[in-house]
Amino acid sequence: MHTNPWAVRSPLLGGAERAKAMTKSLRDSVELISNPSNLDSSVDEVFSLTVGVHCRRAWEAAVPDTESVTAVVGFGGLLTGACVFRTGGTTACAICARMTGMEFPEIDDTVRDAIGEICNILAGTWKSKVPELAAHCDLSVPAVITGRDYKLHVQAPEFTIRHGFRFEDSFFEVTILCDGLQ
């Protein structure tokens, strides 16, 4: 019977050696981490369970709303970066209405909280697709920005996955930004 010596010794590794072994494992999984289908399946899973709709990929750009809502959840650990959820105010209100069963004629704290929570759940679902990432990457509290004419800038990400999605007449965009794998 052949025993894997790495598996026998791995519990005895010190913190730095264990981190180095995990880094190698995460680097080896970069194709899985940057696989666009993980984002698509995460969006479908989250929106079908929390919003009650099935989304389809949208290849065209969205018509800008007068006001937009952007939620950002940071990644920290072996992968650093962010999950960004961006939509117009009308879609943000529609998503919140489906989550709560109440109507929202305008963006308020409940709508902002709902969009922050959607982004948080999306980030967690996306990172759960890669075991090394799920175990060694933490999420920040969501930050939500509302307004007109603003841009979110990230310097030189290692990779970016940006997809637009539609349900009914609603459009939103989800972006995964990785600015480092450690």
Q: What is the pLDDT of residue 66?
A: 78
Q: Distance between CA 168 and CA 147 in Å, rounded?
A: 24
Q: Distance between CA 114 and CA 100 in Å, rounded?
A: 9
Q: What is the pLDDT of residue 65?
A: 67
Taking residue 182's Cβ as centre, other Cβ atoms within 10 Å add up to 14
Q: What is the pLDDT of residue 91?
A: 95
91's CB contacts (< 8 A; 6+ apart) are 65, 170, 171, 172
Q: 139: buried, middle or exposed (CB in 10 Å: 19+, 13-18, 0-12)? A: middle
Q: What is the pLDDT of residue 134?
A: 87
Residues of the chain whose pLDDT is less than 70? Answer: 1-29, 60-65
What class is the 5-181 domain? alpha beta
Q: What is the pLDDT of residue 11?
A: 44
AA letter at 104 = F
Residue 119 near residue 71, CB atoms below 8 Å: yes
Residue 67 near residue 89, CB atoms below 8 Å: yes
Burial 143-152 (b: 16+ CB within 10 A, else e): ebebeeeeee
Q: Distance between CA 52 and CA 170 in Å, rounded?
A: 14
Q: Is the dihedral of CA 118, 146, 158, 178 positive or negative?
A: negative
pTM: 0.83
Q: What is the pLDDT of residue 175?
A: 94
Residue 133 near residue 157, CB atoms below 8 Å: no
